Amino acid sequence: MGHRELGASALGLALSVCVEACAARSSQGAVSRTSETAASEPASGAAGAGRRQPHSAAPPTSRPATAPDKPSGPGAELELADRALDDGEVERARSHLARARQLGAAPADLSLYSVKLELAATGVPPDYAAAPGDTRLERLLDELEPLTDADPRARLERGRILLMLGRAEAALLELRQSASELPKDPEAASALGVALLGCGKVPEALEAMSRATELDPNNAARLTNLGTAQLVNGRVNEAVATFNEVVRLEPGDARARSDLGTALLSAGDAQAALLHLERAVAMAPDRATFVSNLGYAYLQLGDRTRAINAFRRAISLDPRLGSAWINLGLALSSEKSYDAAEAAFRKALEIDPSDPRARSNLQELGQLRSGGAKAGPSKK
């Protein structure tokens, strides 16, 4: 398709447009999922993921890596441009587009590929809400508008851009139609799944992402999206199996290790999660969400000292990671450091006033201090 796979975990499991619908945000704690490019998002509850951050999926891996074919016409040059975009080589793609133009490619194709090139050149990651209000993306939307009636691929690109702008409802309208017009295109199915997840239509999202993986079964990015949808649906064991497959496909990918560790935490297997989360942090020590998730595993295993150190390290890497502040508050509360715990919860609330976890933990901390509770913040 000539573009990077949209990452469902870029939505996380609790999108701003469907916080309650997409995932339960418990007062227990917070496990964050992350993207390759984003670095600071509040995360959802213990079985959840970061709100905008899982995952900026890697370029699709379904196409075999082969030497470029000798072009036989404009269509072949456009195919080579797609391959170059998949590889992240914008200038190479640009040269193939220029050759396609010289060989008489259709004006509509040239217009579509020009937009795809410009989109790649912006450097905006293909994540949900990666660039709200970005005027470059808004301009590209306008350029695609006259192409949509004649070419469903243009509608697909519009839907993808709308997701990057954080406009899930508008994206859903475009992507439903493009998926019906491109029934065998895995990216159309996958992008539709991301939009559905963003609008809280969780069972439909799972269906669309399952379809995408059926069409493109060995694509780690699409499998990651499927695993995210499975977690949102509460199908935790299936998500663990899916993320295990992602790790098999990409054993050296820190994000894949963190995703699997997150799923294992959701399944209540903190000991198994620990192995993958420690590996993820070893591979990417400066990723705040990875460090925070590792701290959460320590906390679940009763090692409060290491947990507190991990949460503080995550906060030093990203002071606006709300999940780390919440988990730090929980760990400090368990140590009866109530003033420090309250400060941590209030910081999380300052970062995201809509996050019910911080407010709930503050209330429970007040009850604990007044003797109205027998234990610390709720542990479900």
Distance CA 283, CA 279 (A): 6
Distance CA 49, CA 229 (A): 11
Q: Is residue 265 part of a domain?
A: yes
Distance CA 34, CA 59 (A): 17
Sequence-distant (≥ 6) Cβ neighbours of residue 354 within 8 angstroms: 19
Cβ neighbours, 10 Å, residue 295 = 31
Spatial contact of 15 and 22, defined as CB atoms under 8 Å apart? yes
Block means of pLDDT (10 residues each) for the chain, 380 residues, are: 49 28 37 37 31 32 42 84 87 93 93 93 87 95 92 94 93 95 94 91 95 95 93 95 97 95 96 97 96 96 96 97 95 93 95 90 87 45
Rg (CA), the chain: 22
| Structural domain containing residue 200 | 8-63+74-370
* Cα dihedral 127, 133, 136, 140 sign: positive
> Quick one: angle between helices 168-181 and 152-164, nearest 10?
160
Burial code (b: 16+ CB inside 10 Å, e: under 16) for 208-238 equals: bbbbbbebbeebbbbbbbbbbbbbbbeebeb
* Phi, psi torsion values for 278, nearest 5 degrees: -65, -40
The tokens for 195 are 């939009």
Q: Is residue 69 part of a domain?
A: no
Cα first-last separation, the chain: 43
pLDDT at position 128? 84
Query: Which string of DSSP letters, residue by residue, matches 167-215?
Result: -HHHHHHHHHHHHHH-TT-HHHHHHHHHHHHHTT-HHHHHHHHHHHHHH
Q: Is residue 344 part of a domain?
A: yes
Q: Is residue 348 part of a domain?
A: yes
Q: Is residue 273 part of a domain?
A: yes
Which pLDDT tens digit goes with each residue over 19-62? 222 332 333 455 554 333 222 232 333 323 333 233 333 333 33
Q: Based on the number of CB atoms within 10 Å of its own CB, is 336 exposed (0-12), middle (13-18) or buried (19 or more)?
A: exposed
Sequence-distant (≥ 6) Cβ neighbours of residue 220 within 8 angstroms: 57, 58, 61, 246, 249, 250, 253, 256
Spatial contact of 74 and 38, defined as CB atoms under 8 Å apart? no
Please tell me the total count of domains within the chain.
Answer: 1
Q: Is residue 103 part of a domain?
A: yes
pLDDT at position 30? 54
CATH number at residue 91: 1.25.40.10
Cβ neighbours, 10 Å, residue 307 = 27
Q: Is residue 43 part of a domain?
A: yes
* Phi, psi torsion values for 73, nearest 5 degrees: 170, -175
SS3 category, 82: helix
Residue reference for tokens 């400060």: 343
Q: How far is CA 126 from CA 7, 166, 284, 343, 354, in A?
A: 7, 11, 21, 35, 25
pTM for the whole structure: 0.74
The tokens for 42 are 């509040």
Please state the three-class secondary structure of 229-278 as a single string: HHHHCCCHHHHHHHHHHHHHHCCCCHHHHHHHHHHHHHCCCHHHHHHHHH
Distance CA 225, CA 240 (A): 13
Q: Is residue 2 part of a domain?
A: no
Spatial contact of 358 and 349, defined as CB atoms under 8 Å apart? yes
